[in-house]
Structure 1
Amino acid sequence: MKRITTVLTASLLAASLMPARVTANDSPDDIPRVAAMQPIPSDPVATTSGAIAGTRIDGEVRAYLGIPYAAPPVGALRWAAPRPVAWQGVRNADRTGPECIQVLRPHDINHYFGEEATSEDCLTLNIWTPSAKPAAGLPVVVFIYGGGFTIGSSGMPNYGGAAVARRGAVFVNFNYRVGAFGFMAHPELTREQGGHSGNYGLMDQITALRWVRANIAAFGGDPDKVTIIGQSAGALSVASLIFSPEAKGLFRSATMTSWCNYHDAMPTLAEAEATGLAVQHRLKEDSLAALRNIPADRILAIQSESQLGANVAGIRIGGPIVDGLVLAGQKPALLAAGQVNRVPVIASSNTDDIDIPISPFGHVATLDQYRDAARTAFGADAAAFLRLFPAKDDAGAQAMARNVAHLAGFELASRQCARDQASIGQPAYIDQFARRHPYAPGMRFADQDPATVGAYHTGDVPYWLGTLDVYNSRRRTRDWTPYDRQLSATMMDHLIAFARDGDPGADWPAWSPSRESETWFGDGIAVRPLDVRRLDWLAAHPMVRQPLPPRPGSPRD
């Protein structure tokens, strides 16, 4: 099998940090520039780990980047719960830390913003806060990245927090372990760790949130006004935190974008241990000690991956498990028993999300294909389906099929999430993001077609976080309009209000059985009723989702 090398060698890393050689023919505009540290007069900031000094951004924002929140999970701490970290003196926090071990990104995809170093020593967080320290604590937004639990990094600029800070909140993001390094269980690990193993990535998330609770006041934040927001695998992480007793009291509200799901089946500890044994067998190592000593790239090379240009048919590792500690049971059982952290949630999805390709209706292009899909999905009920979801021609069939895929996918999941919230006496706010990015003419990517991609999976993230301009940082890919900027400002304000007040604002009503509605973020902003009649029919006639087809160029973060 071809090995995927992800660790920068010392010489490559040194070269990447050296200034470019300047020649007599270079003009000042041709010379690459590296942001220098801009000292903050009030630094250092004292934290429970040690003192840190950050950097100013445009005079408006204080940024503290690459702060270790746990000891490096290396050596004997590979596959162990995160441990405390401390340092002497003042630590400069002016650049993000390396991403956790994962495959690297091709340069011709939508989400390439420059190379990042990658390492097992990766448990760092980043804080952006307004320059003026307020007398009262500010609301705090904590972002958790997605990536199918095998990729993702808090250092990606589209996950940055300067814009949220400029609008009056403290913003935090952090790295957590992914893939085999973050979620592998093993019988020897279970014996070593008191009857449980795996979920190290979730333990990292909880440890980061505990660090935030202990220290965020020093950065102007209110530890009692923390909202967490996760996208894709980050959303599933948020759902896991909602059901984890270890995360109790660490946040007051939660947003899940793509998608809100309290009913996904997680592997049991025994199933996850069997996967860990398969990893050991594939690596031909005879002990846990040997597994902890082998190079990280050997483990990465046998891990299944179909994102970022990788196509490795290895062992699928990644994602939460029922380990008996972080997660005591499957979510439906925990919900029924009331074993859940009771917080309000936002359940968010995109119109052209990944629920489209996993639906039997996701690839319909003609009227005949639409009718065939109806017969396959619903059998004797196909005629009733076609009366409720009619189509007269190929174009109408294609549009209706995509609508069916989304309604039966993330839209139905958002509604079920709202119902689940109601069962524990907590509100839910539903939204659908439908704005198509305004691409620059002739733009091409290896992993998406701007002409057809629509409001794609992750397309909402730069609006929630105000990072629109990052998409033009290396080349012009979007022609953002004043409306895009206003839409982003509105979505950021809703998110900040959710942290500050526990609801996203009076103009965004909560879902209720008597008023089933969602807020629509598209070419306009409106509160719209849910398509209750069609949702009810689809809920009563569940379809089997198809496995997400391998799309070698397509990341899920």
Structure 2
Amino acid sequence: MKGNAFAASMIAIALGTGALQAADRSMQPIPSDPVETSSGRVAGTALASGVKAYLGVPFAAPPTGDLRWAPPKPSHWTGIFNADRKGPACIQVLRPHDINHYFGEEATGEDCLSLNLWTNAKAGEKRPVVVFLYGGGFTIGSSGMANYDGEAMAKAGAVFVNFNYRVGALGFLAHPELTKEQGGASGNYGLMDQTLALQWVRDNIAKFGGDPDKVVIMGQSAGAGSVAAQVLAPAARGLFRAAVMSSGCNLRGAKPTLADAEKIGLAFQEKMGAKSLSEMRAMAADRILATQSESQLGLSVSGVRINGPIVDGRVLPQQAADAVAGGNYARVPMIASFNEDDMAFGFEALTGARTVADYQAGAQKLFGADAAAFLKLYPAKTDADVRSAARRAAQDANLAASARACAVDTAAQGVNVFIDEYARRHPYIPGVKLADQDTATVGAYHTADIPYWFGTQDAYNSIRPTRQWTEWDRTLSKQMMEALLALANTGSPDTPAMPWKAWSAKNDTLVWFGDKVETVKLNVAGQTWLAAHKPAASAQPPRLSRPRD
């Protein structure tokens, strides 16, 4: 019976996959269209669920020609823009077809500054709004990925928006000639794209049934770093009422300065063999892409590393810690989220251990004479204990610590920060193969929480069957989605189904999303010790090459 049931489930998943791949991609008119926006009139497409989708809407003029490496300009058009398909991703390397985050081919190009919007509301309804910023290490990422779609969120009562922003060298290159041209600052073009998209949402979301005063911005990984940048950016003040940072919340880390970034820009120009800025602007985008380093998607391209956001004196006037200490940031409620098996920078010697002996050897490698003290705080008595002890230590030194730091640093200024840890392992089909994951052992990996926040779990079966979602997975997703809606509506993710209180010195806890939902205490003793005992630099291997989006 079990074998027959499994076979039947595989047939059902395969039929669903085929239906998705063969779906009607023609435009289905919405009777109330066109919608008059600040850019022009736009007509969307009606989905079978009844949700209205407005896909690929340009929020900025194409950043090409003299607008390559320039602040974005608002878009304008005459006539009616048919928003029935997603726009191209901003220039980046393409994805292998056998990885976890492959949902079909996407076009790429420099004319990429578009947004997608899903709504089940009428103009003036004032629904809560969720805006998502993708991650990808600031060199890859796309709003077109199916796990970032907003149909389920719209059905749940939100107006959902995501958008593209420039990445890599095209998004973050600083250069002395650009600084001179642009009045004393350069770089951070991707962040300016994000702010302009948020301004478009502020100006137009009411036309789609959203409330401009109930906008939550959310990002994961580099998207979380982008959200943090918007929290710090003066130009983004008043464009959102709450912020969610998944993997992770960092309001302490120092960023390169404009002077640092300009040196990288000059090195980039030299590697390209260009004599001037005008020559760089005339070169084909694939030449630029081939010049920057890339270590994701199975690649190892040795080029000039573009570091992402910088303190440029314009978009980001101050280092994050200084801005927070001086109260120079958006004091909005925040969710600081991380995953149980998230990035484990510097702790791979422990997280790769399978036996107690390996774990103890890893501790000795990382902490030397202090290994005994570490093992007392994070003991592993049996081989079965090793995995959980190693993961706990890795997160207490990294994203769990930064989540708590966000709460500690902002609490004195009256900012409510809500902390969570996502720990639910996806229910993989036994034996399924993914090039960038060992599905037999992978835990709550980096980005694993996203399909639960947005109700996009079925996207992971759209190309090939990979998961057997259970009733609990659907229930957990529903509760997490309701928390986002509550945050947008009230400024707090606390709901009857999932109580969630803000961090405080008296409530030093997080909400744990696993095989159940519960409130647990943060490991302050372990975090404090690890902060004072950094792993030996020589023990830190190169960063992982799997996607960070």
TM-score band by shorter chain is over 0.9
* SS in structure 1 of the partner of residue 56 of structure 2: strand
The answer to whether structure 1 residue 155 and structure 2 residue 148 are counterparts is no
Question: Residues of 1 paired with 2:318 and 2:122: CA distance?
Answer: 42
Q: Which residue of 2 aligns with 1:9?
A: none
State the alpha-carbon separation in 2 of the partners of residues 32 and 504 from structure 1: 38
Residues 61, 253 of structure 1: alpha-carbon distance in 2 compared, 3 angstrom cutoff: same
Name the counterpart of 2:448: 459
Q: What residue number does 1:11 align with?
A: none
Q: Distance in 1 between matches of 2:393 and 2:351?
A: 9
Q: Pairwise mapping of residues 483-494 of structure 1 onto structure 2 (< 5 A)?
A: 483-494=472-483
For the 8 Å contact 1:52–1:90, the answer to whether it is kept is yes
Residue 405 (structure 1) aligned with residue 394 (structure 2): yes
Equivalent runs, 1:30-45 vs 2, <5 Å: 32-45=22-35
1:256 maps onto 2:248 in alignment: no
Deviations 1:19-52, CA, capped at 9 Å, x for gaps: xxxxxxxxx9899454211111000000000000
How many Å apart are 1:392 and its aligned residue? 2.6
Which of 334, 343, 347 aligns to 2:332? It is 343
| Offset of residue 398 of structure 1 | 4.1
1:475 to 461, 464, 468: 464
SS of structure 1 residue aligned to 2:487: helix
Match of 2:350, SS state, is coil
Q: Secondary structure at the match of 1:512?
A: coil
What secondary structure sits across from 2:286 in the alignment? helix
Alignment partner, residue 508 of structure 2: 516
* Structure 2: distance between partners of 1:31 and 1:501: 39
8 Å Cα contact 1:367/1:398 also seen in 2: no
Give a deviation string over 1:433-459, Cα, whole Å, max 9, x none. 000001112210111111111000000
Whichever residue aligns with residue 501 of structure 1, its letter is T
Equivalents in 2 of 1:356, 1:477: separation in Å?
Answer: 28
Contact 2:213–2:240, Cα closer than 8 Å, also in 1: yes
Query: Residue 285 and residue 79 in structure 1: after superposition, are their counterparts in 2 closer, same or farther (change >3 A)?
Result: same
Distance in 2 separating the partners of 1:393 and 1:59: 50
Sequence identity percentage: 58
Give the CA deviation at 1:100: 0.1
Give 1:53's aligned amino acid: A
The aligned amino acid for 2:203 is: A
* Residue identity in the other structure for 2:29: P
Question: Distance between the aligned counterparts of 2:364 and 2:464, measured in 1?
Answer: 46
CA distance in 2, matches of 1:169, 1:43: 19
CA offsets 1:369-402 (integer angstroms, 9 cap, x no match): 4333334444443332222222234443443222
Query: Are 1:387 and 2:376 an aligned pair?
Result: yes
Distance 2:141 2:540 in 1: 21
Change in Cα spacing, 1:134 to 1:198, as seen in structure 2 (3 Å) is closer
Paired residues for 1:298-309 under 5 Å: 298-309=287-298
In the alignment, the residues of structure 2 paired with residue 332 and residue 278 of structure 1 have an alpha-carbon distance, to the nearest angstrom, of 29
- What's the counterpart of residue 77 of structure 1? 67
Establish whether residue 173 from structure 1 lines up as the match of residue 162 from structure 2: yes
Match of 2:235 in 1: 246
1:538 and 2:537 aligned: no
Q: CA deviation at 1:539?
A: 3.3
**Contact 1:254–1:346 (CA<8 Å) still a contact in 2?**
yes
Alignment deviations for residues 534-556 of structure 1 (CA, whole Å, 9 cap, x no partner):
2333334344677663544x111
How far apart in 1 are the matches of 2:175 and 2:367?
Answer: 41
1:334 aligns with 2:323: yes
Distance 1:296-1:412 versus aligned 2 partners, 3 A rule: same
What is the alpha-carbon distance in structure 1 between the residues aligned to residue 399 and residue 536 of structure 2? Answer: 14
Distance 1:135 1:242 in 2: 27
CA displacement at 1:197 relative to structure 2: 0.1
Gaps in structure 2 of 5+ consecutive residues: 1-17
Q: Map residues 35-184 of structure 1 onto 2, 5 A cutoff.
A: 35-130=25-120, 132-133=121-122, 135-184=124-173
8 Å CA contact 2:324–2:410 kept in 1: the answer is no
2:305 paired residue number: 316
| Alpha-carbon distance in structure 1 between the residues aligned to 2:307 and 2:482 | 33
Distance 2:22 2:501 in 1: 48
Residue 193, structure 1, aligned to residue 182, structure 2: yes
- Seen in structure 2, the aligned counterparts of structure 1 residues 347 and 201 have a Cα distance that, compared at 3 Å, is same
Instruction: Give 2:542's aligned residue.
Output: 549
Whether contact under 8 Å (1:63, 1:126) holds in the other structure is yes
Give the counterpart letter for 1:486 in structure 2.
T
Verify the 8 A CA contact 1:466 1:492 in the aligned structure 2: yes
1:510/1:33 Cα in 2 relative to 1: closer, same or farther (>3 Å)?
closer
**Structure 2 letter corresponding to 1:39:** P
The CA deviation at 1:76 is: 0.6
The whole-number CA distance in structure 1 between the counterparts of 2:536 and 2:81 is 52
In the alignment, the residues of structure 1 paired with residue 193 and residue 19 of structure 2 have an alpha-carbon distance, to the nearest angstrom, of: 42
State the TM-score, normalizing by the size of structure 1: 0.91
- Residues of 1 paired with 2:390 and 2:512: CA distance? 20
SS in 1 for 2:362: helix
* Amino acid in the other structure paired with 2:36: A
Alpha-carbon deviations, 1:292-326, whole Å to 9, x = none?
00000001011111111322011111411010000
CA distance in 1, matches of 2:20, 2:484: 39
Q: Confirm or deny: 8 A CA contact 2:124 2:210 kept in the other structure.
A: no
Name which of 394, 403, 408 aligns with 1:419.
Answer: 408
Q: Secondary structure at the match of 1:222?
A: strand
Checking the alignment, whether the CA contact within 8 Å between 1:99 and 1:154 is kept in structure 2 is yes
Task: Provide the rounded CA distance (Å) in 1 between the counterparts of 2:486 and 2:44.
Answer: 26
User: Per the alignment, do residues 367 and 531 of structure 1 end up closer, same or farther by CA in structure 2, a change over 3 Å counting?
Assistant: same
8 A Cα contact 2:21 2:463, kept in partner: no
Task: Please list every run of 5 or more consecutive structure 1 residues that lacks an aligned counterpart in the other structure.
Answer: 1-27
Q: Is the 8 A contact 1:103 1:310 kept in 2?
A: no
Structure 1 counterpart of 2:114, one-letter code: T
Residue type at the aligned position of 2:76? A
Q: 1:356·1:406 contact (CA, 8 Å) conserved in 2?
A: no
Work out the CA distance in 1 between the residues paired with 2:46 and 2:36. 17
TM-score normalised by length of structure 2: 0.93
User: More deviation in 440-449 or 97-106?
Assistant: 440-449
> In the alignment, which residue of structure 1 is the partner of 2:14?
none
Corresponding pairs, count = 528
Q: CA RMSD in A?
A: 1.9
How far the C-alpha of 1:188 sits from its partner, in A, is 0.2
Secondary structure of the 1:173 match is: strand
Post-superposition offset of 1:59? 4.5
Q: How does 1:203-214 map to 2 (within 5 A)?
A: 203-214=192-203
Question: Partner residue of 2:8?
Answer: none
